[in-house]
Structure 1
Amino acid sequence: MTSKRRFLAACTLVAFGTLPAQADTYPSRPIRIIVHSSPGALLDVTTRVVAQEMSKDLGQPIVIENRPGADGLLGIRAVKAAPADGYTLLAAANTVAQLPAFRKEPGYDLEKDFTGIGMMNRAPFLFVGPPGQPSKTLAELIANAKAQPGQLVMAHAGKGTSVHMAAALFFHQTGTKFLDVPYKGAAAALPDVVGGRANVMFDGANSSGPLVKEGKLRAFGITSTTRSPVFPDIPTLAEQGLPNYSFYVYLGLLAPANVPKDVVPRLAKALRTALASEPVKKRFRNDAAEAGRMSPEEFTKFLKEDAARTEKVATDLGYAKE
């Protein structure tokens, strides 16, 4: 009996001794990040370069899946519906905090359905248009818009998206009225701006910046508070008569709420490592972007505060929820 008891005790120790090792193996298989924008958009490009570096730290591949549509709601809802196991994440722009201010039924509750992992970066937009149109400066554009209310076309990526919010703030501060035309993502809108079928749009530096340098687009300004070292010749909107105007698109990673408690800290560590890598730093410099430095708790709080700010702006501008 003594030998039998010793044998059973040894088996018990071995069994329980393996549990911590099994619990600490996250991630043990590939991770999927759903991006709620089109391929080639700023969110997509940023997520891909960050994910590549994160995968090195995590020791597992990260698969990027684009789910554009419904102004970003398709991708957001897909992650909300996914198992809260840490293997399906959301790469989101400001949109995730802004859409509830414009939709009666967005299909998700930011606070209840998601938890923040961290901000990847934030970057200003370029305010661009085709060089062949009559307006050559921001002042001329504003004057022409006021002379032709609702005639000039402002392209954007959909109501409640970051691009739309940048435009809405522009309308509010300039007192102009454009014909704002939504597209299925910024990448879909840009060709119409280059081709002269739309007059202006706010867009990420990664996509519109090279076109500005090639002379295919005119930059009316940049939305940062000070000039960007990447585009030192492009004046801010603030220095061109809009002293209170600034706007940044921020990009971050989120997980479904109620993921295992070890998942978010592990992903946050991998994100910090990725942001410190040279490939990511180089990408951010090209995009005139600043790396995020928020903890998961800070990012979650930031998202909540931005949702509240957006709700107030949407109300002040008179937008009705659809």
Structure 2
Amino acid sequence: MTTRPAFLLRIAAAAASLALAAPSAMAWTGKPVRMLVPAPAGGTMDVLARLLADQLSADLGQPVVVDNKPGAGGGIAITTMLAAPADGQTIMVTASNVLTEVPHVLKPAFDPLKDVRPVAAVARSRMVMIGAPGLPARDLKSLVGYARANPGKLSFASYSAGTASHYAGMIMNQKAGLDLQHVPFAGSAPALAQVMGNQIAVMYDGMVTSLPMIRAGKVQVYAVASKSRSALLPQVPTFAELGYPEMEFSNWVGVIASSKLSPELAQQIHAAAYKAASAARVRDRMEALGYEPLPAQPLPQLSESVRAEFERNAGIVKAFNIQP
């Protein structure tokens, strides 16, 4: 026989469970959620966004519809997001560089720190320095020596001018006393093709795009641009280990929204996004794509990290007079 106190305890426990479940469930009501993506369909960012959209839809019990809006370094998607009501029905999945790098060279119509709220950083892609398969240098120390012995003969590729891929090459030139010439490309794929074909010596690239080429032996890898080694390339040393601690670059991918979004809605979407990203199938797929899942960060900490990265990049752009 169930006693009244025990019954009341069960009711209280059930109510507590509902309260814990409520934040993500209440983030969106009965309407489909529009998830903007600043990249074309089929690319890595699109694949990740659709993965999150599917899991969010399953968790929330309502459609989460991916809407691809490529162009202007993410500016078209962000402008579209900011034009929509700040009610949580329109969110965006993107890499953090649309807030921390691109605005320094493309000068968008929005303020990335005032108009946009970072909501969840669910995974990151670290930068790596890769080299042509025909380069005689097999490690970073040898590469630096080889470049110094062949002044004016080598170049480095970036996936676009004015991005961290460009910043990294300029900083490494300065710190190691090199004179590699910068050759910008419209994306990683054409730059990687030139490196794999031995037309360009080295490239600073995101691990997501370069990891398959590294694993296939089509390029050499010299260092990871972070202070700790990557679980995806544990055998590769970091620039910090090799004496270049300034070489620290990565982008997170996650959810952003309008800064006009209420704190309550932002917290609900934050909880739902991290819950979706923690699903085993989502984590496994992210890692297969070359992303490293990240633990949840409080909203204030996430906003501060974006501001710090934005200001650091502003200093780099000014110091090296980087142009788009």
Alignment TM-score, normalising by the size of structure 2: 0.78
AA partner of residue 178 (structure 1): L
Runs of at least 5 residues in structure 1 that lack an aligned partner in the other structure? 1-23
User: 1:138–1:220: 8 Å Cα contact kept in structure 2?
Assistant: yes
Q: Is the 8 A contact 1:238 1:244 kept in 2?
A: yes
Q: CA deviation at 1:182?
A: 2.6
CA contact (8 A) 2:127 2:224 kept: yes
Greater mean deviation of Cα atoms: 185-194 or 297-306: 185-194
Q: What SS does structure 2 have at the residue aligned with 1:154? A: strand
Among candidates 282, 285, 291, match of residue 283 of structure 1:
285
State the shift of 1:289 in Å: 1.3
Q: How does 1:105-116 map to 2 (within 5 A)?
A: 105-116=107-118
Per-residue Cα deviation, 1:81-133 (whole angstroms, up to 9, x for no partner): 34433233222323212233334x32210133111211112232222123123
Paired letter, 1:289: E
2:128 to 123, 126, 129: 126
- Equivalent residue for 2:212? 210
**Using a 3 Å threshold, how does the CA distance of structure 1 residues 294 and 114 change in structure 2: closer, same or farther?**
same
Per-residue CA deviation, residues 46-102 of structure 1 (Å, 9 max, x unaligned), is 333333322222223333344443343333333333443323322232321223333
Instruction: Map residues 139-288 of structure 1 onto 2, 5 A cutoff.
Output: 139-148=141-150, 151-260=153-262, 262-286=264-288, 287=290
Matched residue, 1:18: none
Sequence identity, in percent?
29
Aligned to 1:304: 307
Counterpart residue type for residue 302 of structure 1: S
Cα deviations by residue, 1:269-308 (Å, 9 ceiling, x for unpaired): 2112123211232234443614142123322222122212
Q: Deviations over 1:25-52 (max 9, x none)?
A: 8243332323334556554443333333
Secondary structure of the residue aligned to 2:78 is: helix
Distance 2:155 2:67 in 1: 31
* Root-mean-square deviation (Å): 2.9
The CA deviation string for residues 205-257 of structure 1, in whole angstroms up to 9 with x for no partner, is 33322221221121112222232233222222222342443222222311122
Moved over 6 A (4+): none
CA distance in 2, matches of 1:62, 1:165: 36
Matching residue's letter, 2:226? S
Pick closer, same or farther for the CA change 1:25–1:244 going to 2, 3 Å: closer
Name the residue aligned to 2:17: none
Aligned residues: 297
Matched letter for residue 48 of structure 2: T
Gaps of 5+ in 2: 1-25
Equivalent residue number for residue 317 of structure 1: 320
